[in-house]
């Protein structure tokens, strides 16, 4: 197959006739509850491009929701997967184990923050990683309550729906939810700052607010774990105020509460560090348990919980597992993806991407007061769109902007508790030229609205 040209190209309207036909078949076959951001059907993807079945080539600023960090056809991933499927696709690690699983666990133990002894368990998805982290924390502490935060997203299974903050579309009508889950206020510097300047810049104060609520409404003696995304993803790419996360970690350590970092979206070079926790404090911070998924599998489904050996090994033998967890093909892909991240310095590449995006969006913000905030780290940057007079969220403009970008051949995603954030998550293999072009399209389309 010829290489996929790294250029934006509109061969038809979006969606083209092939995609329209598939949409009709889909309507009769696929459950309505599963939605898609764009109406085009993919044929090929790689570098910074997704090509659809009508020959349209779109600039990819979404990475399949932060998954294809190393690209969608990274040669090391493709080769490793080909090799593995020709040897065996599955035996089940719980029946006859294999080296790939052990090698991925070793790699995760090595690259995750913290120089203590660690263990890992491999799973199928982000939600399953969160489910298991909570099981492990409860087993270790012999306590049951779990704290999550406003604006959080942790998945769609029953326990993770309870952890997730937003009702529509994730939870509405799907209750009852798992019990003994409590919610604390997060640090949201932009929105906090509209009310209280100090709260927006002083992470210790924001942490004290959350801790005060947890102490009075739950009690540390009942709390098994605190679960938090170091940069909130679906909630709006919210980078907490400096000091917020370290203050929460210190409180957890003092109170025998397991600190679980959900790095499903932020992990694996995405934020310009191997993990978002690496940005916190002078030398980074080391959570007790860290959940990963998305980017670690190089596009194949894989999740993991990695953490302190004493906590991980508190679980009885056979208490963790699952038929497909740590599937050998997904493990081969993960080892290929990790080699790409380390050998191609994709952490450094994420920092370059951050500079490029901030520079362009900073200029855009200076010219357009509907952009309330530009924030994020690495290749995980967002704009929050507001009504300029009041800073009220503007979800209608957000939706219109995303749709206009899609029609112009640029994949952007939206997010945010109030639906008013456009987020950029390019693969780290995108060229500067494509990224710049994508940002120009975004700026042009916003100018027309
Ligand atoms: N946690 C975070 C922070 C996420 O962003 C997501 C997915 N968007 C999940 C958990 C759930 O991951 P999955 O969809 O693989 O279950």
Of 147, 175, 150, 149, which is closest to residue 161 (Cα–Cα)?
A: 175
Nearest protein Cα to ligand 1, atom 14: 126
pLDDT, residue 2, reads: 85
Q: How far is the CA of 265 from the centre of ligand 1 (A)?
A: 7
Cβ–ligand 1 distance for 445 under 6 Å, the answer no
**Burial of 419 from C-beta contacts in 10 A (0-12 / 13-18 / 19+):** middle
Helix (H, G, I), strand (E, B) or coil at 70: coil
What are the pLDDT digits (tens) for 133-182?
Answer: 999 999 999 999 999 999 999 999 999 999 999 999 999 999 999 999 99
Contacts of 94 (CB under 8 A, 6+ apart): 321, 323
Cα distance between residue 258 and residue 265, in whole Å: 20
Ligand 1: nearest atom to the Cα of 125:
15
Q: How far is the CA of 222 from the centre of ligand 1 (A)?
A: 26
What are the pLDDT digits (tens) for 259-292?
Answer: 999 999 999 999 999 999 999 988 889 999 999 9
Tokens of 162: 């309870």
Which parts of the chain have pLDDT scores under 70? none
pLDDT, residue 282, reads: 82
What are the pLDDT digits (tens) for 331-380?
Answer: 999 999 999 999 999 999 999 999 999 999 999 999 999 999 999 999 99
Of 6, 1, 100, 4, which is closest to residue 431 (Cα–Cα)?
A: 6
Q: Are 288 and 112 in contact (CB under 8 A)?
A: no
Q: What is the CA radius of gyration of the chain?
A: 21
Contacts of 254 (CB under 8 A, 6+ apart): none
Q: Are 414 and 388 in contact (CB under 8 A)?
A: no
- Its pTM surpasses 0.95: yes
Domains of the chain: 17-60+345-448 (3.90.1150.10), 77-343 (3.40.640.10)
Tokens of 265: 């979206």
Q: How far is the CA of 198 from the centre of ligand 1 (A)?
A: 31
Cα distance between residue 101 and residue 272, in whole Å: 26
User: To 10 degrees, the CA torsion angle through 48, 51, 55, 58?
Assistant: -50
Largest CA distance in the chain: 63
DSSP letter assigned to residue 239: P
pLDDT, residue 228, reads: 98
Q: Are 439 and 381 in contact (CB under 8 A)?
A: no
First vs last Cα of the chain: how many Å apart? Answer: 40
């Amino acid at each position: 197959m010829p290489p996929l040209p790294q250029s934006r190209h509109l061969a038809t309207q979006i969606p083209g006739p092939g995609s329209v036909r598939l949409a009709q078949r889909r309507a009769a076959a696929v459950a309505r509850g599963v939605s898609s951001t764009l109406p085009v059907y993919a044929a090929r993807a790689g570098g910074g491009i997704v090509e659809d079945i009508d020959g349209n080539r779109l600039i990819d600023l979404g990475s399949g929701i932060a998954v294809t960090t190393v690209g969608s056809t990274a040669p090391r991933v493709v080769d490793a997967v080909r090799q593995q499927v020709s040897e065996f696709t599955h035996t089940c690690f719980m029946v006859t184990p294999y080296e790939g699983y052990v090698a991925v666990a070793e790699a995760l133990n090595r690259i995750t923050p913290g120089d203590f002894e660690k263990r890992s368990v491999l799973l199928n998805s982000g939600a399953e990683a969160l489910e298991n982290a909570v099981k492990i924390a409860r087993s270790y502490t012999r306590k049951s309550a779990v704290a999550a935060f406003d604006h959080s997203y942790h998945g769609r299974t029953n326990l993770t729906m309870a952890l997730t903050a937003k009702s529509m579309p994730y939870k509405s009508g799907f209750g009852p939810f798992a019990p003994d889950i409590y919610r604390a206020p997060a640090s949201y510097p932009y929105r906090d700052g509209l009310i209280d300047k100090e709260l927006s810049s002083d992470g210790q104060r924001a942490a004290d607010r959350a801790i005060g609520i947890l102490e009075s409404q739950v009690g540390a003696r009942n709390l098994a774990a605190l679960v938090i995304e170091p940069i909130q993803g679906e909630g709006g790419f919210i980078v907490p105020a400096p000091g917020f996360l370290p203050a929460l970690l210190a409180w957890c350590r003092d109170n025998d509460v397991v600190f679980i970092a959900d790095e499903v979206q932020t992990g694996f070079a995405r934020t310009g560090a191997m993990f978002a926790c690496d940005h916190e404090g002078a030398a980074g911070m080391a959570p007790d348990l860290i959940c990963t998924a998305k980017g670690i599998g190089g596009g194949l489904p894989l999740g993991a919980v990695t953490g302190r050996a004493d906590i991980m090994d508190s679980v009885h033998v056979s208490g963790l597992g699952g038929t497909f967890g740590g599937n050998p093909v997904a493990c081969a892909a993960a080892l290929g993806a990790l080699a790409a991240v380390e050998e191609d310095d994709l952490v450094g590449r994420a920092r370059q991407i951050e500079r490029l995006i901030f520079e362009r969006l900073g200029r855009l913000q200076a010219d357009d007061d509907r952009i309330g905030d530009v924030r994020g780290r690495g290749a995980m940057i967002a704009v929050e769109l507001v009504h300029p007079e009041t800073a009220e969220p503007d979800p209608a403009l957000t939706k219109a902007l995303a749709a206009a970008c899609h029609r112009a051949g640029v994949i952007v995603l939206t997010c945010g508790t109030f639906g008013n954030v456009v987020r950029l998550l390019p693969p780290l293999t995108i060229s500067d030229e494509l990224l710049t072009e994508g940002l120009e399209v975004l700026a042009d389309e916003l100018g027309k609205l």
